[in-house]
């Protein structure tokens, strides 16, 4: 009794299957009827940005303000600053919506328009910025900043941050600084310097050799190595209180200290007159908390992972200097770098996924890799000697010292190596840049 | 009962069984004929003999090289040994910068979204993926075709994208040419991409016989004016595009659809 319905069902199934195979390609073809190509996701094209001259009564002030602002935006690597000669907007146009026409900015090819105003009101500077999406004909943001009359550069840095935040949605770097070493006095002294290479403030002035500054996570203190007492010792500088004190003066090397992300520990290289190993220290008393390495080779240059659970360091235990990673208690040591015979100066990225380090080939160059030592990205190649990599707090940039212009200066590169710009240009050589966390001062 | 039905000697063919079979076979033959007529109008998409797999990658920009003047600074001279001294006095500092007060001019705009650490990490990961993509050599794998999470539309399936099927090599080459020309002109705002990674726009472009862009049309807007405008501008700014391979020119005469996905996930 069941045979007939089963046969009928199987015939119908066969029929539907045949129909299914014969029709779809034709149907899809009819649906589109166009040749289709995809450009893929957008790459890292520079965004065309128009910055008309700032409004304001004082033209000298406006020029200086514009100069700092444009330089910041160039350093950021996000933009292609459009030539003001191509601007069509009449001089009387204002800053606010309705006071100008977007069509004046589409022809020069602007994607973003940043209109600014700077005024000196008594002893105070006041800057205003209006940021527009030209293609969308809409305001992205508007901000005003004020500061003392001597704080023009600082105000301009804040405006640059506001523009970058409005366009990219991410915080930028102009509320950070470098602690770095300069030899303009004939000695190696530590300075704080703005991200654009200006506004250097001395931290040490002891006529000796001061090296390897490292920021505390809250940006209020520096730890560094100084030979001021004849031996490489560790010193703690409290930037808010303007005090300095020595925290580790053990026999032999006291060098290469790095703050843990929580700020409660330092990792540093101590030799105690013998082989150099990595220890954790109390950052205020200098007391040894733990000895992390015990190999017969040299262990140095510790760099904490952002979570504080691991430390990257350099060791020659396998022969040449190579990058290793260990747990923060000294266990689970494993080698990371296998490319090249001499790799030093590891610096852990803020996202925790990459390490930057220096590799020596013909010259010293900066390379980044993932935590397995793979996915190598070459940041520099054969452009003089490039050393001392340090990540920006957002992980978008790396700073390093480079001798590519003849003198050692601080350079910034985007983490992919594409956009590189020289930051310091002044007298004397710069080295050992250490990128601060975001600062509110 | 069932076992007797399945025995060959018990199987009997009734007349209406034969009739039904003939009817259904006739229908199948009819559909095959009609179906053949229906798909004959279209150009063949793939020549199986020519199939190869390719990966679309953006070529990295050439890096500017500065003159290489290796002038590695000599190591600092070792300091003369000095007996351990008393702690030095505090060293000079300039005054910390006064913090700038920040206000908003009138008509305060909505505050930008606060982003947590997770968002930053995700952005970093996306970026590192992009970096890997850019750096990948011209390989032998069609990434879109092998993406297990691909959710591309039927139109893309038509072009061989994201279907798991290899793309026609001529089409792959053509896509690469278009990409090289259009991508540098495409500058959507990063904030829009970050906030809306699913944006997707299709711009239709018509070329004249020399490849000059005759007409552009928004075939499928994303709904974000700024993003859509950036796509249209990218095509218009290109001015001229290469002509499609001969076997696709008939199809292209009806228009070329250029896809603009905000992220590779699309």
Residue A42 lies in a domain: no
3-state secondary structure of A303: strand
Residue A246 lies in a domain: yes
Q: How far is A107 from chain B (nearest CA, A)?
A: 11
Most confident listed range (A265-274, A345-354, B235-244): A345-354
Q: Are residues A414 and A296 part of one domain?
A: yes
Last residue of a domain, one of A168, A193, A208: A168
Q: Are residues A131 and A216 part of one domain?
A: no
Residue A219 lies in a domain: yes
Q: What are the DSSP E strand ranges found in A156-253?
A: 177-182, 189-194, 201-202, 210-215, 221-226, 233-238, 243-248
Question: What pLDDT is stored for residue B30 in this prediction?
Answer: 73
Within an 8 Å CB–CB cutoff, is residue B40 touching chain A?
A: no
B66 closest CB neighbour out of A12, A202, A383: A383
Residues 6 or more apart whose CB falls under 8 angstroms from that of B79 comprise: A208, A209, A227, A230
CATH code, A83 = 3.40.50.10070
Distance CA A84, CA A61 (A): 18
Q: Are residues A316 and A293 part of one domain?
A: yes
Residues constituting chain B: 266
Which residues in chain B touch residue A368, judged by CB atoms under 8 angstroms apart?
A: none
The nearest alpha carbon in chain B to A167 belongs to B191
3-state secondary structure of A324: strand
Which residues in chain B touch residue A34, judged by CB atoms under 8 angstroms apart?
A: 155, 204, 219, 251-252, 254-257
Within an 8 Å CB–CB cutoff, is residue B191 touching chain A?
A: yes
Within an 8 Å CB–CB cutoff, is residue A405 touching chain B?
A: yes
Residue A212 lies in a domain: yes
Element (DSSP H or E) covering residue A63:
helix A59-76
A37 closest CB neighbour out of B68, B108, B256: B256
Q: Are residues A186 and A161 part of one domain?
A: no
Alpha carbon distances (Å) from A240 to A214, A244, A388, B189 = 16, 11, 26, 39
| Residue A11 binned pLDDT confidence (cut-offs 50, 70, 90) | low
Distance CA B179, CA B57 (A): 9
Residues 6 or more apart whose CB falls under 8 angstroms from that of B75 comprise: none
Contact assessment for residue A193 and residue A200, using Cβ atoms and an 8 Å cutoff = yes
Contact assessment for residue B163 and residue B147, using Cβ atoms and an 8 Å cutoff = no
Q: Which residues in chain B land under pLDDT 70?
A: 1-14, 29, 31-166, 265-266
A35 closest CB neighbour out of B21, B85, B251: B251
CATH code, A201 = 2.120.10.30
Q: Are residues A103 and A187 part of one domain?
A: no
Question: What pLDDT is stored for residue A17 in this prediction?
Answer: 43
- B33 φ, ψ to 5°? -65, -45
Question: What pLDDT is stored for residue A427 in this prediction?
Answer: 80
Question: What pLDDT is stored for residue B187 in this prediction?
Answer: 92
Residues 6 or more apart whose CB falls under 8 angstroms from that of B77 comprise: none
Question: What pLDDT is stored for residue B142 in this prediction?
Answer: 32
pLDDT tens sequence across A291-308: 999 999 999 999 999 999
Overall number of domains in chain A: 2
Alpha carbon distances (Å) from A344 to A212, A286, A315 = 14, 25, 8
Which residues in chain A touch residue B131, judged by CB atoms under 8 angstroms apart?
A: 377, 415-416
Task: Say yes or no to pLDDT of A116 above 70.
Answer: yes
pLDDT tens sequence across A53-75: 999 988 899 999 999 999 999 99
Q: Which domain does A78 fall in, by range?
A: 47-168
Residue A235's nearest CA partner among A257, A253, A259 is A257
Last residue of a domain, one of A168, A196, A214: A168
Q: Are residues A137 and A216 part of one domain?
A: no
Alpha carbon distances (Å) from A310 to A217, A268, A396, B175 = 16, 14, 22, 45
Residue A33 lies in a domain: no
Q: How far is CA B61 from the centre of its chain?
A: 19
Q: Are residues A282 and A196 part of one domain?
A: yes
Task: Say yes or no to pLDDT of A325 above 90.
Answer: yes
Average pLDDT value for chain A:
91
Q: Which residue has the higher pLDDT, A33 or A416?
A: A416
3-state secondary structure of A193: strand
Q: What are chain B's domains?
A: 124-266 (3.30.1150.10)
Distance CA B193, CA B55 (A): 23
Task: Say yes or no to pLDDT of A125 above 60.
Answer: yes
3-state secondary structure of A70: helix
For chain A, the distance separating the N- and C-terminal CA atoms, rounded to the nearest angstrom, is 91
Task: Name the CA dihedral angle for A134, B110, A68, A401, rounded to a multiple of 10 degrees.
Answer: -100
Q: Are residues A244 and A143 part of one domain?
A: no
**Inter-chain residue contact A202 with B254, CB threshold 8 Å:** no
Residue B244's nearest CA partner among B215, B203, B211 is B211
- A289 φ, ψ to 5°? -90, -45
- A430 φ, ψ to 5°? -110, 145
Q: Are residues A279 and A155 part of one domain?
A: no
Cα-trace Rg, chain B: 32
Alpha carbon distances (Å) from A299 to A193, A335, A387 = 30, 12, 18
Last residue of a domain, one of A168, A190, A206: A168
Q: Are residues A288 and A200 part of one domain?
A: yes
Angle at A137 between CA A79 and CA A50, to 5 degrees: 30
Q: Are residues A250 and A135 part of one domain?
A: no
Residue A8 lies in a domain: no
- A38 φ, ψ to 5°? -120, 140
What is the DSSP code string of chain B?
-HHHHHSGGG----HHHHHHHHHHHHHHHHHHHHHHHHHTTSPP---GGG-------PPPPPPP-------PPPPPPPPPP-PPPPPPPPPP-PPPPPPPEEE--SSPPPPPPP--HHHHHHHHHHHHHHHHHHHS-S-S--HHHH-TT----HHHHHHTSSSSSPPPHHHHHHHHHHHHHHGGG----HHHHHH-TT-EEEEEEEE-TTSBEEEEEEEE--S-HHHHHHHHHHHHHH-B-PPPPHHHHHHHTT-EEEEEESSTT-
pLDDT tens sequence across B96-125: 333 445 555 554 333 334 445 555 655 555
Distance CA A103, CA A109 (A): 10
Q: Are residues A337 and A236 part of one domain?
A: yes
Question: What pLDDT is stored for residue A373 in this prediction?
Answer: 94
Task: Say yes or no to pLDDT of A141 above 80.
Answer: yes
Of the given ranges (A162-166, A235-239, A319-323, B29-33), which has the lowest mean pLDDT? Answer: B29-33
Element (DSSP H or E) covering residue A390:
strand A386-391
Within an 8 Å CB–CB cutoff, is residue A401 touching chain B?
A: no
Angle at A280 between CA A209 and CA A314, to 5 degrees: 65
State percent of chain A over pLDDT 70.
Answer: 93
Angle at A318 between CA A313 and CA A322, to 5 degrees: 35
Question: What pLDDT is stored for residue B95 in this prediction?
Answer: 33
Question: What pLDDT is stored for residue B114 in this prediction?
Answer: 43
pLDDT tens sequence across A360-391: 988 999 999 999 999 999 999 988 999 999 99
Cβ neighbour number for residue A68 with a 10 Å cutoff? 21
3-state secondary structure of A403: coil
Distance CA A191, CA A207 (A): 13
Distance CA A41, CA A20 (A): 34
Residue A440 lies in a domain: no
Q: Which two tokens stand for residue A264?
A: 């409660």
Within an 8 Å CB–CB cutoff, is residue B18 touching chain A?
A: no
Residue A25 lies in a domain: no
Within an 8 Å CB–CB cutoff, is residue B116 touching chain A?
A: no
Angle at A208 between CA A207 and CA A210, to 5 degrees: 120
């Amino acid at each position: 009794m069941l045979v007939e319905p089963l046969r009928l069902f199987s015939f119908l199934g066969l029929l539907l299957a045949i129909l299914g195979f014969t029709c779809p390609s034709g149907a899809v073809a009819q649906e589109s009827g166009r040749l289709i190509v995809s450009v893929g996701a957008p790459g890292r094209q520079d965004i065309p940005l128009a910055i008309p001259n700032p409004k304001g009564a004082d033209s000298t002030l406006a020029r200086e303000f514009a100069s700092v602002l444009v330089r910041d935006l160039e350093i950021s690597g996000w933009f292609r600053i459009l030539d003001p000669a191509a601007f069509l907007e009449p001089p009387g146009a204002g800053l606010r919506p309705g006071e100008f026409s977007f069509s004046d900015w589409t022809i020069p090819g602007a994607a973003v328009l940043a209109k600014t105003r700077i005024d000196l009101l008594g002893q105070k500077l006041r800057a205003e910025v209006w940021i527009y999406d030209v293609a969308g004909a809409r305001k992205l943001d508007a901000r005003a900043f004020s500061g003392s009359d001597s704080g023009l550069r600082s105000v301009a840095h804040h405006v640059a941050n506001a523009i970058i935040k409005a366009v990219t949605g991410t915080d930028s770097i102009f509320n950070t600084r470098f602690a770095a070493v300069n030899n303009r006095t004939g000695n190696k002294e530590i300075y704080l310097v703005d991200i654009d290479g200006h506004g250097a403030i001395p931290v040490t002035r002891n006529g000796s050799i001061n090296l390897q500054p490292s920021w505390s996570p809250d940006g209020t203190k520096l730890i560094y190595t100084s030979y001021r007492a004849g031996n490489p010792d560790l010193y703690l500088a409290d930037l808010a209180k303007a005090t300095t004190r020595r925290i580790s003066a053990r026999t032999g090397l006291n060098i290469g200290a790095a703050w843990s992300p929580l700020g409660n520990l330092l990792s540093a290289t101590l030799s105690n007159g013998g082989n150099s190993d990595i220890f954790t220290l109390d950052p205020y008393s200098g007391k040894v908390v733990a000895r992390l390495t015990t190999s017969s080779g040299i262990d140095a240059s510790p760099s904490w992972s952002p979570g504080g659970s691991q430390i990257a360091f350099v060791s020659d235990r396998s022969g040449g200097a190579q990058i290793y990673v260990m747990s923060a208690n000294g266990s689970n040591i494993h080698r990371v770098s296998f490319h090249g015979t001499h790799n030093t100066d590891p610096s852990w990225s803020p996202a925790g996924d990459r390490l930057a380090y220096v590799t020596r080939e013909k010259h010293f160059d900066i390379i980044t890799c993932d935590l397995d030592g793979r996915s190598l990205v070459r940041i520099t190649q054969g452009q003089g000697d490039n050393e001392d990599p340090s990540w920006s707090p957002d992980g978008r940039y790396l700073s390093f010292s480079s001798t590519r212009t003849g003198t050692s200066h601080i350079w910034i590169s985007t983490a992919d190596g594409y956009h590189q710009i020289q930051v310091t240009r002044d007298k004397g050589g710069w080295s050992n840049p250490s990128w601060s966390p975001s600062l509110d001062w | 009962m069932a076992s007797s039905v399945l025995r060959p000697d018990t199987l009997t063919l009734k007349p209406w069984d034969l009739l039904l079979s003939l009817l259904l076979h006739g229908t199948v033959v009819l559909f095959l004929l009609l179906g053949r007529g229906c798909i004959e109008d279209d150009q063949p998409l793939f020549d199986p003999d020519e199939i190869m797999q390719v990966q679309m990658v953006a070529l990295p920009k050439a890096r500017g090289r500065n003159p290489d003047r290796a002038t590695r600074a000599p190591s600092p001279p070792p300091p003369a040994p000095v007996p351990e001294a008393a702690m030095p006095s505090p060293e000079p500092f300039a005054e910390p910068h006064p913090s700038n007060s920040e206000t908003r001019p009138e008509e305060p705009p909505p505050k930008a979204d606060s982003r947590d650490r997770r968002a930053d990490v995700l952005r970093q990961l996306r970026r590192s993926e992009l970096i890997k993509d850019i750096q990948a050599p011209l390989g032998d794998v069609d990434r879109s075709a092998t993406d297990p999470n691909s959710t591309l539309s039927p139109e893309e399936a038509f072009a061989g994208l994201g279907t798991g099927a290899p793309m026609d090599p001529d089409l792959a080459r053509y896509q690469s040419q278009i990409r090289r020309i259009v991508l540098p002109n495409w500058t959507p705002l990063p904030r829009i991409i970050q906030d809306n990674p699913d944006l997707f726009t299709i711009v239709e472009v018509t070329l004249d016989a020399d490849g000059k862009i005759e007409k552009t049309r928004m075939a499928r807007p994303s709904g974000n004016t700024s993003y859509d405008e950036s796509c249209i501008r990218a095509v218009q700014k290109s001015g001229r595009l290469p002509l499609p391979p001969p076997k696709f020119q008939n199809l292209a005469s009806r228009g070329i659809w250029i896809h603009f996905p905000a992220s590779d996930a699309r």
